[in-house]
Amino acid sequence: MANLLTSVSTDWLFTARPRVGFAWNHTLLYAIGGFAITWGTFMQSYSDNVVANEAGGVENSSVSGTLLGWTVGAGVEHALTNHWSIRIGFLHTEFGRLSAFGFCMMAFRLIFRTLPTMLAI
Protein backbone atom coordinates (compact mmCIF):
# COMPACT_ATOMS: atom_id res chain seq x y z
CA MET A 1 0.00 0.00 0.00
CA ALA A 2 1.26 3.47 -0.88
CA ASN A 3 0.64 6.75 0.97
CA LEU A 4 1.02 10.21 -0.53
CA LEU A 5 0.50 13.22 1.76
CA THR A 6 0.49 16.79 0.44
CA SER A 7 0.41 20.12 2.28
CA VAL A 8 0.24 23.64 0.80
CA SER A 9 0.31 26.72 3.02
CA THR A 10 0.99 30.44 3.03
CA ASP A 11 1.97 32.54 6.05
CA TRP A 12 1.09 35.97 4.68
CA LEU A 13 -0.44 37.65 1.63
CA PHE A 14 -0.13 41.23 0.37
CA THR A 15 -2.15 42.78 -2.46
CA ALA A 16 -2.18 46.26 -4.02
CA ARG A 17 -5.39 46.62 -5.99
CA PRO A 18 -6.94 49.90 -7.06
CA ARG A 19 -10.70 50.07 -7.56
CA VAL A 20 -12.61 51.61 -10.47
CA GLY A 21 -16.34 51.65 -10.85
CA PHE A 22 -19.67 53.30 -11.45
CA ALA A 23 -21.57 55.04 -8.64
CA TRP A 24 -25.25 55.88 -8.48
CA ASN A 25 -27.13 57.21 -5.45
CA HIS A 26 -25.35 55.53 -2.50
CA THR A 27 -24.12 52.40 -4.33
CA LEU A 28 -20.80 51.71 -6.06
CA LEU A 29 -20.35 48.83 -8.51
CA TYR A 30 -16.60 48.29 -8.92
CA ALA A 31 -13.86 46.18 -10.48
CA ILE A 32 -10.42 45.70 -8.95
CA GLY A 33 -7.13 44.37 -10.23
CA GLY A 34 -3.54 44.50 -9.19
CA PHE A 35 -0.40 42.93 -7.81
CA ALA A 36 -0.10 40.14 -5.21
CA ILE A 37 2.82 38.63 -3.28
CA THR A 38 2.93 35.79 -0.73
CA TRP A 39 5.23 33.27 0.94
CA GLY A 40 4.23 29.74 -0.07
CA THR A 41 5.28 26.34 1.27
CA PHE A 42 4.64 22.99 -0.39
CA MET A 43 5.42 19.70 1.36
CA GLN A 44 4.92 16.17 0.13
CA SER A 45 5.77 12.76 1.56
CA TYR A 46 5.52 9.34 -0.03
CA SER A 47 5.82 5.90 1.51
CA ASP A 48 4.98 2.40 0.38
CA ASN A 49 5.29 -1.17 1.53
CA VAL A 50 4.77 -2.84 -1.83
CA VAL A 51 6.99 -5.81 -0.95
CA ALA A 52 5.80 -7.68 2.16
CA ASN A 53 8.14 -7.58 5.17
CA GLU A 54 10.44 -4.97 3.56
CA ALA A 55 10.83 -1.27 4.17
CA GLY A 56 9.59 -0.16 0.73
CA GLY A 57 10.16 3.37 -0.51
CA VAL A 58 10.08 6.59 1.48
CA GLU A 59 10.66 10.18 0.41
CA ASN A 60 9.95 13.60 1.92
CA SER A 61 10.20 16.80 -0.12
CA SER A 62 9.49 20.44 0.55
CA VAL A 63 9.98 23.78 -1.15
CA SER A 64 9.11 27.31 -0.06
CA GLY A 65 9.64 30.79 -1.38
CA THR A 66 8.21 34.15 -2.34
CA LEU A 67 5.54 33.97 -5.03
CA LEU A 68 4.53 36.93 -7.19
CA GLY A 69 1.12 37.05 -8.79
CA TRP A 70 -1.94 39.01 -9.77
CA THR A 71 -5.43 39.57 -8.47
CA VAL A 72 -8.75 40.58 -10.05
CA GLY A 73 -12.23 40.94 -8.68
CA ALA A 74 -15.50 42.81 -8.58
CA GLY A 75 -18.03 43.89 -6.01
CA VAL A 76 -20.66 46.27 -4.82
CA GLU A 77 -20.49 48.77 -1.95
CA HIS A 78 -23.45 50.62 -0.47
CA ALA A 79 -23.23 53.66 1.83
CA LEU A 80 -25.51 53.20 4.84
CA THR A 81 -24.73 56.68 6.24
CA ASN A 82 -22.08 59.33 5.60
CA HIS A 83 -19.59 57.30 7.68
CA TRP A 84 -20.71 53.65 7.31
CA SER A 85 -20.80 51.39 4.28
CA ILE A 86 -21.22 47.68 3.59
CA ARG A 87 -19.53 45.82 0.76
CA ILE A 88 -19.40 42.36 -0.79
CA GLY A 89 -17.18 41.20 -3.62
CA PHE A 90 -15.32 38.37 -5.30
CA LEU A 91 -11.52 38.19 -5.42
CA HIS A 92 -9.42 35.80 -7.54
CA THR A 93 -5.68 35.72 -6.77
CA GLU A 94 -3.19 33.59 -8.68
CA PHE A 95 0.53 33.12 -8.16
CA GLY A 96 3.46 31.74 -10.12
CA ARG A 97 5.02 28.34 -9.62
CA LEU A 98 7.51 26.92 -7.18
CA SER A 99 9.30 23.84 -8.47
CA ALA A 100 11.46 21.17 -6.91
CA PHE A 101 12.84 17.90 -8.16
CA GLY A 102 12.29 14.59 -6.44
CA PHE A 103 10.54 11.28 -6.84
CA CYS A 104 7.17 12.52 -5.63
CA MET A 105 7.23 16.29 -6.13
CA MET A 106 7.31 18.40 -9.26
CA ALA A 107 5.67 21.84 -8.84
CA PHE A 108 2.74 23.68 -7.33
CA ARG A 109 0.73 26.79 -8.10
CA LEU A 110 -1.31 28.74 -5.52
CA ILE A 111 -4.76 30.03 -6.46
CA PHE A 112 -7.13 31.73 -4.01
CA ARG A 113 -10.80 32.52 -4.63
CA THR A 114 -12.47 34.47 -1.85
CA LEU A 115 -15.76 36.20 -1.19
CA PRO A 116 -14.82 39.05 1.15
CA THR A 117 -17.57 40.94 3.00
CA MET A 118 -16.99 44.05 5.04
CA LEU A 119 -18.69 46.68 7.14
CA ALA A 120 -16.50 49.77 6.86
CA ILE A 121 -16.23 53.20 8.44
Check whether 63 has a pLDDT greater than 90: no
pTM score, whole prediction? 0.70
Quote the number of domains for the chain: 1
Express as a percent the part of the chain with pLDDT over 90.
35
Torsion-angle region of residue 26: left (phi > 0), alpha (psi -120 to 50) or beta?
A: alpha
In single-letter form, the type of residue at position 98 comes to: L
C-beta neighbour count of 10 within 10 angstroms: 14
| DSSP-assigned beta bridge partners for residue 43 | 7, 62
Q: How far is CA 5 from CA 17, 19, 45, 105, 117, in A?
A: 35, 40, 5, 11, 33
Task: Provide the residue range defining the domain that includes 107.
Answer: 2-120
Q: Which of 18-22, 83-87, 106-110 has the highest mean pLDDT?
A: 18-22
